[in-house]
Amino acid sequence: MGGQLAGEIASAMAVDVLRDHLERGAAAGEALVGNVDQRHSPTANRLASGIRRANQVIHAAGKSKAAWRNMGSTLVAAQLHDQRLAIAHVGDSRIYLIRGGSIIQLTDDHSLVAEQQRQGLISQAEAERSPLKNIITRALGEGPQIEVDLSDLDLIDGDRILLCSDGLTNMVDDRAILAVVGAEDDPQRACDTLIATANAGGGRDNITVVLVYVAAAGFFTGLRQIFSQGR
C-alpha cells in the first residue's frame, strides 16, 4: 500500500517487528500491547500484540518521510502450540485450512467487497468482478491503533495450513488451491506450483505463500515468495 516501494518497506517492517516482539515476549515476558481478549489463547493474544506494535511502528514511519506517506501493509500470522493453531490478522491476506478433501478460509477479508458480501449486497461472482475488490478497509499503518482479528483452531494429523497474500488468491481460486495442496505431499513443491499458477494467470501483484503440513512426526513447511517488480 502507498506505492510499491513504500508497501514493501511497510511489509518488511511488519514482519521484523512482529518477529522481534514474539522473541522478546518468549524470552522475557514483554508486556502486551493493547488489551487481552480472554476468549482466545495467550498465543493468539501475543500475536495480536505484535501486530499492534507493528502498526505503531509503520504509522510513525509513514509520518516521518514524504515518500512513505500513507504506506501500509496487510498481515496474517499463525503460531503452532500444543497441536493448536493461533491466528491473528489484519487486511485481506488469508489463512486456509485444507482438511479431509475440503478447503476452509479461516480469516475474514478486511475489504470493501468482502463486507458487501457479508451484508448480502453482492454475490461471490459479483465480488470477483468488482472494480472495488482491491479496496482494503483495515490495514497496518492507517492510524495509531488497529483492530486485530483473532482465532484458535485445534489441529489434527493430516491438516494442511496455507498462509498467503492476495497476489495468490486474486489469481487462483479456492478449488484450484485445494487441487494443488491436496494432491502434493511436498509443501515446498506445492508452494512452487501455486506461485507458477498465479503467474500463469497474470501475476499482477506480489505473491507470498507459506504452507504447513501437520503430521504425527512433526510439522513440515514450505515457503515461496515472488515480487511483481512493477507489474
Q: For 104-147, write each residue's pLDDT tens digit.
A: 999 999 999 999 999 999 998 898 888 888 899 999 999 999 99
Domain spans, the chain? 1-91+138-152, 94-108+156-231
pLDDT at 225: 61
The model's pLDDT over 65-111, given as tens digits with 9 standing for 90+, comes to: 988 988 999 999 999 988 899 999 999 999 999 999 999 999 999 99
Name the phi and psi angles at 32, rounded to 5: -75, 150
Q: C-alpha 31: how far from its chain's center?
A: 24
The predicted model scores a pTM of 0.90
Q: Evaluate the CA torsion angle 54, 52, 230, 190 in order and state its sign.
A: positive
Residue of 224, 75, 103 whose CA lies nearest to 159 = 103
**May I ask the CATH class of domain 94-108+156-231?**
alpha beta
